[in-house]
Amino acid sequence: MKRATPLRAAIAALLLTVGLGAAQAGAAGAAPLPGPAATPSASAGLLEAMSRDLGLTAAESEERLSAEKAAVEVEKAARRSAGAAYGGSWFDAATGRLVVAVTDRAEEAEVRALGADTRLVRHSAAALDRAKARLDTLNAPAGVAGWHVDPRSNSVVVDVVSSERQTPAVRSFVDRARAGGAVTVAETAQAPRTYAAGTVGGDPYYTGNVRCSIGFSVHGGFVTAGHCGRAGAAVRGWDGSAMGTFQGSSFPGDDYAYVSIHSGWWTVPVVLGWGTIPDQLVRGSAEAPVGSSICRSGSTTHWRCGTVLAKNETVNYSQGAVHQMTKTSVCAEGGDSGGSFLSGDQAQGVTSGGWGNCSSGGETWFQPINEILGRYGLRLHTA
């Protein structure tokens, strides 16, 4: 951040965007997941944002956040316990509990003892990952939006654009995908696109004539979306002054980048609340399960919430496929690219692209943060 500016301007220059979210309250009589009894601290503004996007009361939001925090720990233990029989997991908003799929009935009792519900399935998570990896070697036509491993259906789901489903190219791709087994087909309204935008006002960062949003502070700079700039590109801050340089960038294939910052700017473990909620601290990067609530914010649409729909999805942009993405029901618009996704106080990833907008709704994908940190050997700046 630029030391000569006020704190808000400095944080705005970072343009960090946070995600805290909620969904439905647990069903009556459902046993809560094990975890801390105390409800998480949440500001009135945050609860209002979750109510707007997820239709929850303040109490329901806090209950959901508490259950999801516990589910993260249960998922880690369940994965170790089930071993090769692990078939994936997801958070069930109706019960407030984690559901773990297993391929061996003998593993069910031990997983349940950890505080999760179980579902017996045919395919292990490892087998589904192999099936998806095979699809990643295929060239997909524009009418195929992407594909991902879905633990709930115990299959690899191929998403096709509804209006393109019967075209010869899409039908041929679907036939090749199904030949490997464990594949189902779903329809989506539109093809995904990235969320970069031309230069406009606000609290952005700029590279060339593109505006994007900063993701998370790392020691020495920040991470963002790769489609926002190539290695060596200069970055200007919210005020138009020289801010940093893209040191690494990957797109397509991946969609992440690392920007080092110049003297006169500094990093903080904070995301901008945009006046909707107080600015938030980032305390780690524990990965939230499928089904968890999540929020994102960017320089265009600020705070928006939804749920995690899928992980390890290949998204087929017009520029090329991007792998290992996480799909959410959160909306986004041009200029939000690169912005932060958080669950509670845990960093999840940087905004890549999607379809729709924040007036009519849509879906948005993010590149997971831990992959970015590992790729460039970075250390997340945490409180």
- Which residues form the catalytic set? 227, 255, 337
Give ∠ CA 87-350-221 in degrees, rounded to 5.
130
Stretch (H or E) spanning 294 = strand 293-298
229-266 in b/e burial notation, b at 16+ Cβ within 10 A? beeebebbbbeeeebbbbebbbbbebbbbbbbbeeebe
Helices assigned H by DSSP within 83-200: 108-113, 125-135, 168-178
Rounded-to-10 torsion of CA 248, 252, 254, 255: 70
Q: Which residues contact 325 (CB under 8 A, 6 or more apart)?
A: 146, 148, 255, 312, 313, 314, 315, 352, 365, 366, 367, 368
Other C-beta atoms closer than 10 Å to the C-beta of 326 total 24
Residues 13/266, Cβ–Cβ less than 8 Å: no
Residues 188/215, Cβ–Cβ less than 8 Å: no
Q: How far is CA 328 from CA 69, 261, 362, in A?
A: 18, 30, 9
Q: Rounded to an integer, what distance in angstroms lies between the CA atom of residue 91 and that of residue 73? A: 12
